[in-house]
Structure 1
Amino acid sequence: MPKYTTDEDLDLLEELGVETAPDPVSQRSAREERIIAGFEEIERFVEEQGRLPNHGEDRDIFERLYAVRLDRLRESEDCRAILKPLDSRGLLDPEADTSLTPETDLDDEALLATLGIDAAENDVMHLTYVRSRQEIKAAEEIAQRTPCQDFDQFKPIFDQVQRDLATGARQTIKYQDNAAVNQGDLFILDGQKVMVVDMGEPFVSDYGRPNCELRVIYDNGSESNLLLRSLQRALNKDKASRRITNPDFGPLFSHVEAADDLPTGYIYVLRSQSNHPFIAENRSVIHKIGVTGGDVKKRIANAKKDPTYLLADVKIVTTFKLANINGQKLETLLHKVFDNARLELALPDRFSIPVQPREWFLVPLEVIEAAIEKIKEGTIDQFRYDPKIASLTRL
């Protein structure tokens, strides 16, 4: 196998079931990796077409760019030294196969000028419009689809999802990079609805990465079997990818996002400064979770006179800015998630009447932040809070 190893190579070997390990001693520089990657694209072209890439106005733009790139590689002594051990076809030697000698009706600078590229500003590995290895790999992964033989079982689900989106029962939210993917999740990828219908047993690859096999169904009647990390990569690379929320959420998130969106409020997490013995002993895990449409500081200005705030000053631990969100529904959802951890504590008000606030919870801050992240991802319905271990657990 080659002496260099990239992340893409490791992923591909992992998906092919090839057991190997990266060789830290023989890693190449980023420039060398770019040179090798560009040469491999030329090799792929030769293997598929049975000839060298040619210059010429009548040629495909990628073929013309491959031809320019090959010329540059041949001209560079440094590039030849890097690629010589990998050149099994002898592509760096223009005399190796005269039947594959390219036409030369345009010189490099003329061709680059025709393509809108300044030869003085672009080296061999930075030609405009040349697809990266990552883009090619992602496209190949998604292209490996087959007809779904039992699509009649899934079509009604896709149809209902479309109706839910039209009525607002479901929403779409931007997919967060490498966010969780679970069985039953729905996404929009490359303009198609995608459903994860089955997940295999989780495993850890030889490179320490958690992974599992997926069965994914597309709304055009096709399916693919791919690894979890492959789907995440595809969702990351598609800048328009979306997660389709569960209908149980209601209209928490608007399905229209724009640069001029107006904030609809804030989630705030507060910590009490009360001297009550129980609160003082557990202060680091007692938090008030609320949502307001106004300024949080103004909201808590008179906290020590308000039973809602345990009749004491409070400290703002963190806030999250909201946009296109129904604040009341979001607050209700958060309180429902942590309902089994409500603070059961009655305090006398100024009239000595016992008051028991309902928005305080015995929950660590990091768990609150994790719950908010899962709401953003649309997966909170798959988790519950376990007060025994102070953590979210999957249902």
Structure 2
Amino acid sequence: MPRLTLDEILDEPDEFGLLDVRLKPRGTRPPELERDAGLVREVNDFYDRHGRLPNEDAFDHDEMRLGTIWSGLAGRADPDVFKDVDRNGLLAKGPADAPPASRGWRDDPLEDEIPDSLDDIFDEDDGDVSEAFTRIKNVTPVAERHLPDHRAEFFPCPDFDVFQPAFEELQAELEAGMREATAVGSREVIDVQEGGYFIRNGLLAYIAEKAEMTARGGKRDLRLRVIFSNGTESDPLISSFRKALAADPTARIIHRPGIGPLDPDWEADQLDLTGTIYVARSRSDEPAIAEVRDILLKIGVTTQDVQRRVADARNDPTFLLAPVDIVATYELKNLSRRKVENLLHRFFDAARPRDLWIKDRFGKRIYPREWFYVLPDHVSQAVAAIRNGTLHELRYDVGSQKILRRM
């Protein structure tokens, strides 16, 4: 097929109007005055908004800039040249018609404005400072920072009989050369995980529990439960535990069996601990939390004493950064803490508030995962079903707020 000529292409119907080009009419001003025309438009816009010309001594930087440039243009510009953009006729009025300028920050103070003493300054009626400039927000008072709610101390381990056989077995493996213990490097990043063993101050230390995120002194951290081979335990922050290891020249990291996390023997020595189920109610003053306080409960499981677990709640995002009241506790026997916790959280997942969040001290949103819109009786029924092995036959219905039997 022969190609069309340019004339044939231009003779075809212009369906989309591509050739309908309309040139803008050339302005009556020379190009060098277009910048001044833009300034005239800007000043007219300012005049429409404020009903006056911009003040070159204004405190507002944009108004000061516009007023300074305008004062120079108004004295030399020809009103006829900018008639099409000067819709308010501001150039025809001239600078003399502008409203009188108020005193600005460039002007020296008047004699009667200079105070004679500090008393004169403090007696000024208009010297009040807004509370927004003097009240500190989201900062823990110094007195509270020096008096923490919770101190990591050494105290007798009430269930040491659970850990003692594991300590004896580990000691035998170390003496036989079956387990390796290496010194802590000066700049080594110590990986502290549940089930891990360390040597601190000559004692074997077992990480029994690593709790949820907390925040002390504006920094995020984790609370540990550490069991020692002499029958004591402590619950330091993970940062404090790392510092203690780094400061101890005799500290050692005991490597786990196996070659890595994918090795079946990697967690062979991790104890499957039982614990206590606790149900907590927040005492937060936040309106979004306070108005649903009676039906918003935290369901958690811990291996340590429940009161110690919640002692630092006001610094713990998991507890909504507020103290809590313990509503109920349930002791577990021969049941894995982790498995029970996962079962309860999956069972009540439909009642988990999807829009519940708080801001931590960094301004970052945190979405707590252990809070549910349930009643204490619902948790009690679910715990009873776990104990007798029938939880899989039940489900929680959000609409009726009842535990129903699966069909």
On whether the aligned pair clears a TM of 0.5, the verdict is no
- TM-score normalised per structure 2: 0.32
Question: Which one scores higher on RCO, CA 8 angstroms, separation ≥ 6?
Answer: 1
Q: Would you tell me which structure has more helix in proportion to its own residues?
A: 1
- TM-score normalised per structure 1: 0.33
